[in-house]
Structure formats: C-alpha cells, structure tokens
C-alpha cells in the first residue's frame, strides 16, 4: 500500500451544493448556539439522543446546551459512565468520531429480539473484507486505486460493501473521468467496535504481501463473493 499515491489533496468539491450533487447527501444544518448554558444539560442531551435515535454531532449538541464541545464531551462521557455502571439501565452512549448515539447495551440483545425482529447477520468473504480493509486504511480511495493494490477487479466487493452501508461515496477525484472516492461509514465503526479510524490496528508488511498473493490467486479462478 505504501506505493499508492496519496490522493487526499486532489479532492475538489468547492461548495456544499456540489457536495450534495456529487454524493446525494444534504449538508448538515447549523444550529444557532444557545445564548446561555441550559440548567440541566444531561436531561436535554438525553432527550435529544433518545428522540433522534441516530447519531448526532457533538458540535450540534454543544450549541443546543450552550457549552463548548470539550465540555459537552465530558458531560456525555459522564452520562455514559452512569449508564454503564447502573445494571438497571439498558441503554448506553456510543461515540463515533465526532458523533454520539444512544443505543441499547449489547447484553440486552437477547431480550430485544424477543420483541423486535433480529437483524440479519452478514458474513463478509475474504475478498470483500480485504477490499474493506484497503478502503478503511487508504480512504478516500477510488476503485482504480483499490484494484492496483489487489491486482483484480473490485466492482462486486465495492457494490456489496455499499449495500451493507459499510462504505460510502465521499465525492469525486479531480482527475480525468472524475472517479468516485470511497470511504467508510459510521456503520463500519459500529460493526467493528471502534470509536474512530485512529483505533484501527496497523497493517503489517507481512499482511500486505498476503493481499498480493491472494489477489494473484483470485485472478486465476472464479471466486464466489
């Protein structure tokens, strides 16, 4: 992977409108900061996270309660500690990069599925998992860059990862053909139990050689991805 060109500086998306046009995503609306700090920030944060269901940026939460992002993060971590220590509470907070989300504790899963439909488990093949690893470590990255590393086509694997919401389109590279750039999603962080990409383990040179050898074998046989 070391010989792959770093393409981060070549991304050209000049405006929020262009970002929406390229990725189909709407830019996040800004929140007007509170004029004064709210009196009961934990209650406000808890109600917001419970109502939203999905993750919310710490910056938005900070604006609502009238505190800095650092102070808000400390409040959220204190809330997380209270939830985790109290065995009578079935919820906790999960931090995902600069977002936070309220969710059920993992040990409550067996009870939840008695009421709700159990989510379908997807097993990633070696091919798909290796493609995901390349995207995670080299993002933002194009299909061509992935294929240079693996030595074989990655179309099927990339499409499968998009379907599972483990990767997403980040924009387009400022190069001929405007190739799509891919990166991981919050669902990727949730699925692999990490709070941020910084927690991903280093890839050893030995594993890089395994990638090359496996890709060479795949080029000679049909693989069921």
Q: Tens of pLDDT along 129-186? A: 889 999 998 899 999 999 988 888 889 999 999 999 899 999 998 888 899 999 999 8
Q: Which CATH number fits domain 120-218: 1.10.10.10, 3.40.470.10, 1.20.1050.10, 3.40.50.11610?
A: 1.10.10.10
Count, residues in the chain: 225
Better pLDDT: 42 or 177: 42
How confident is the model over 62-91, as a mean pLDDT? 95
Better pLDDT: 85 or 35: 85
Rounded CA separation 179/209 (Å): 27
Residue with tokens 């980040």: 170
Given a contact cutoff of 8 angstroms between Cβ atoms, the answer to whether 96 and 86 are in contact is: no
Determine how β-strand 91-96 pairs with β-strand 167-172.
unpaired
Indicate if 120-218 has the same CATH topology as 41-112: yes
Rounded CA separation 192/133 (Å): 11
Q: What is the CA radius of gyration of the chain?
A: 21
2, 73, 105, 117, 189 from 110: Cα distances, Å: 43, 30, 11, 11, 22
Rounded CA separation 222/184 (Å): 27
Residue 96 φ then ψ, to 5°: -130, 100
**pLDDT-wise least confident of 33-37, 62-66, 122-126:** 122-126
Can you give the residue ranges of every domain in the chain?
Answer: 41-112, 120-218
Binning pLDDT at 50, 70 and 90, where does residue 31 land? confident
> What single-letter DSSP state applies at residue 14?
-
* Range from 71-80, 103-112, 178-187 that averages highest in pLDDT: 71-80
**Above 90 in pLDDT, residue 41?**
yes
End-to-end CA distance of the chain: 23
The per-residue pLDDT of the chain, averaged, comes to 80
Q: 41-112 architecture in CATH? A: Orthogonal Bundle (1.10)
Rounded CA separation 38/17 (Å): 34
Q: What is the pLDDT of residue 81?
A: 96
Residue 159 φ then ψ, to 5°: -65, -40
Binning pLDDT at 50, 70 and 90, where does residue 80 land? very high
């Amino acid at each position: 992977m070391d010989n792959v060109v770093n393409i981060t500086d070549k991304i050209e998306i000049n405006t929020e409108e262009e970002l929406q046009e390229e990725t189909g995503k709407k830019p996040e609306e800004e929140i007007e900061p509170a004029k004064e700090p709210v009196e009961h920030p934990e209650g406000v944060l808890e109600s917001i996270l419970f109502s939203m269901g999905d993750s919310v940026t710490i910056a938005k939460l900070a604006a609502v309660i009238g505190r800095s992002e650092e102070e808000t993060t400390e409040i959220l971590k204190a809330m997380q500690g209270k939830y985790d220590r109290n065995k009578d509470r079935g919820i906790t907070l999960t931090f995902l990069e600069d977002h936070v989300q309220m969710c059920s504790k993992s040990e409550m899963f067996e009870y939840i599925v008695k009421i709700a439909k159990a989510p379908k488990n997807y097993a990633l093949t070696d091919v798909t998992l290796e493609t995901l690893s390349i995207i995670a470590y080299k993002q933002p990255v194009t299909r061509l860059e992935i294929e240079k590393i693996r030595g074989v086509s990655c179309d099927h694997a990339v499409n499968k990862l998009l379907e599972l919401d483990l990767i997403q389109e980040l924009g387009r590279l400022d190069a001929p053909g405007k190739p799509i750039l891919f990166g991981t999603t919050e669902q990727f962080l949730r699925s692999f139990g990490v709070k941020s990409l910084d927690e991903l383990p280093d890839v050893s040179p030995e594993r890089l050689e395994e990638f090359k050898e496996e890709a060479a074998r795949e080029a000679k046989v049909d693989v069921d991805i």
